[in-house]
A and B are shown apart, each in its own frame.
Chain A
Amino acid sequence: MCYHADMEKEDILHLGRLARIEITDKEAAALQKDITAVLEYVSVINEITAETGVTKKVGAVYNVFREDEVTTKDNEYTDALLAEAPATKGRFLEVKKILSAD
């Protein structure tokens, strides 16, 4: 498998769409160069694990549970949180329609 294929401009624009960031042509050119360079650099991780096949997670890994119960009071944070929202209608966040008419 090829670990550091050069990024094409269209690849960058596609990543921008996946990440929900509008990318200009000028940005795409710079990102194309930088991301290709970083991917080439990080490809050495393939050498590390090539022989061992280790897939375990790092550190002290165990589940942490708590009771499934409400820990806050009604409306405790509602006003403060709504005050930070860019657009609200009553007690709701207001958002744009998801689909355009055409």
Chain B
Amino acid sequence: METIATLRRKFIDGSYTPLQAVEDAFAVIAQKDGEIHAFLDTYREDALVQAKDATKRYAEQGSDTPPLLGVPIALKNNILVKGKRATGGSKILEHYTATYDATVVRKLQEAGAIIVGATNLDEFAMGGSTENSAFGPTKNPVDTTRVPGGSSGGSAAAVAMGAVPAALGTDTGGSIRQPASYCGLVGYKPTYGAVSRSGLMAMGSSLDQAGPFAHTVSDAQLLHTVIAGRDPLDSTTIDEDTYPEVTLKETYTIGIPRDFIQEGVDEDVLEVFEEHVSALKAAGHTVRDVSLPLFEKGLAAYYVVMPAEVSSNLARYDGIRYGLSVEGDTLLDVYQKTRAVGFGEEVKRRILLGTYVLSAGYYDAYYGKAEAARELMRQELSDVFRIVDIVLLPTTPTPAFPFGAQSDPLSMYKQDIFTVPVNLTGVPALSIPAGTVCRDATNKPCGEQSQGTQLPVGVQYIAPHGGDTRLFDLGKKMHDQV
């Protein structure tokens, strides 16, 4: 599938129509999704009705139409669309139908986008591979023996397999940027509060943001611009003047926390990273080392704050108001049985961990400390942004891994080491494809003799709060225009 910008141009000049685009989207889904399993549900009938209408509007009004009119979009299935199933990738919501639209959905629809389907995810967005989905994993379209990343793996795969030009995901600790990196896409996590969380299934409320997957930075920017903005339904949304203005420049000073990437990063991934550093210098940007020692400890703070918020947020799934309900003798029995049957292993693990760190006697030692650590990280980062415009990191320490390769929870968690500090501090970050690394069938680097697959790897730009436009600016210079 082509970019949104190309589709829009063709829709306006009439060389391609929204009806053709939607038919083509469903042709790709029919052909590939049996194997890939990016989608949990598709909305063919609704989409065709909207596509016919959009085709007519282009014929009559041309460019005087909303910016996403007729553009097929996929949504991670923790984003509510009124009247459609919203599973969150969980058995507990297998038969739940959303009773209202998320604000991001309303905005996409007002801009004319056609929602073609709901994509797979790790249960309640907890995981980095989609292996935790109650409805089976999604495969990486680049190499189907490997995970697409997660938790927004279905959205990434839907774009990477060519079904849609763009999709929305949510990012609590890297769940947009990591799958974007694994699938060779642009992925974007906005400044906390830039996008309304109304109608997203809450995971870690102080961390969650919705954002786009796309092939180009300008497509991602367009989608972000459509969905962003102050929302009375989410009091944590920010205004344009909440943070000081972050200016655009011809060339930027880019900081690299060298100590942070010293250990634990795959050698080939590091090589791609260094090539990107060279490309930045060649394009006239200034690169210098910075120090962010607390960022290295971010993952520890994350695995206190996030489970704490998860345990509170998921208390609502109780078998009484909506979703699965398992019979029991007493009310307590209904709660305990429903949640035992409805939640998967990883979700239970995080709820219990969160319950522990919030329990009497441990709250100050864990949650209090972790929140204090966040504040110190924010101060440390803000000091670094006095001397650099952008911080550069690899998006992930490795390329996409084979199914089952990260069976130990902690090793799975460590895939997020470079992405979680961004959510903890609330700043925006953009992952762009930076190159590929070769892996053979045994997941070893390709030797001179062995054949293998080229796996995409991303790098991540991080800007100060409210610096979303700066990220798009550098992203377009380094990705779209090369």
Contacts and interface: CB of A to CB of B under 8 A. Distances in A.
A74 interface: no
Q: Which 9 A-B pairs have the closest CB atoms?
A: A86-B325, A64-B235, A22-B340, A84-B322, A20-B335, A22-B336, A80-B99, A58-B374, A42-B300
B330 A97 contact: yes
Contacts of B409: 34, 37-38
Contacts of B336: 16-17, 20-22
Q: How large is the interface on A (under 10, 10 to 19, 20 to 34, 35 or more residues)?
A: 35 or more
A20 B303 contact: no
B330 A39 contact: no
Interface string B241-264: 011000000000000000000000
A47 B297 contact: yes
Interface of B: 96-97, 99-100, 192-193, 206, 232, 235-236, 238, 242-243, 294, 297, 299-301, 303-304, 311, 315, 318-325, 328-337, 339-340, 343, 345, 348-349, 351-353, 355-356, 359, 365-366, 368-376, 378, 409-410, 413, 424-426, 465
Given A12-B352, A31-B348, 19 more contacts: A3-B365, A16-B352, A18-B355, A21-B351, A22-B337, A23-B340, A27-B348, A41-B303, A48-B301, A49-B376, A52-B372, A52-B376, A54-B375, A58-B374, A81-B321, A85-B322, A86-B323, A95-B334, A98-B330
B96 A20 contact: no
Contacts of B410: 37-38, 41
A64 to B, nearest CB: 4
Contacts of A37: 409-410
A77 B378 CA distance: 41
A70 interface: no
B321 A42 contact: no
Nearest to A44: B300
A6 B238 CA distance: 42
A19 B311 contact: yes
Nearest to B235: A64
Nearest to A28: B352
B297 A56 contact: no
A46 to B, nearest CB: 6
A15 B359 CA distance: 9
Nearest to A40: B410
A75 B324 CA distance: 24
A85 B99 CA distance: 12
A93 B321 contact: yes
A89 B340 CA distance: 26
Contacts of B378: 58-59
A98 B359 CA distance: 24
A42 B303 contact: yes
A81 B323 CA distance: 11
Contacts of A55: 368, 371-372, 375
Contacts, number: 171
A6 B193 CA distance: 38
Nearest to A17: B336
A49 B410 CA distance: 23
A35 B365 CA distance: 16
18 contacts: A19-B352, A20-B318, A20-B336, A21-B348, A31-B348, A35-B353, A39-B353, A42-B300, A45-B304, A48-B372, A49-B373, A53-B372, A58-B426, A59-B193, A60-B243, A64-B235, A86-B320, A86-B325
A95 B330 CA distance: 9
A91 interface: no
Nearest to B351: A19
Contacts of B325: 86-87
A93 B320 contact: yes
Given A15-B356, A64-B235, A98-B330, A21 B321 contact: no
Interface string A52-78: 111111111000101000000000010
Contact of A56 (B294, B351, B375): B375
Nearest to B343: A21
Contact of B356 (A35, A60, A96): A35
Interface in A5-33: 12, 15-24, 27, 30-31
Contacts of A38: 303, 353, 409-410, 413
A12 B96 CA distance: 30
A41 B300 contact: yes
Contacts of B299: 41
Contacts of B236: 64
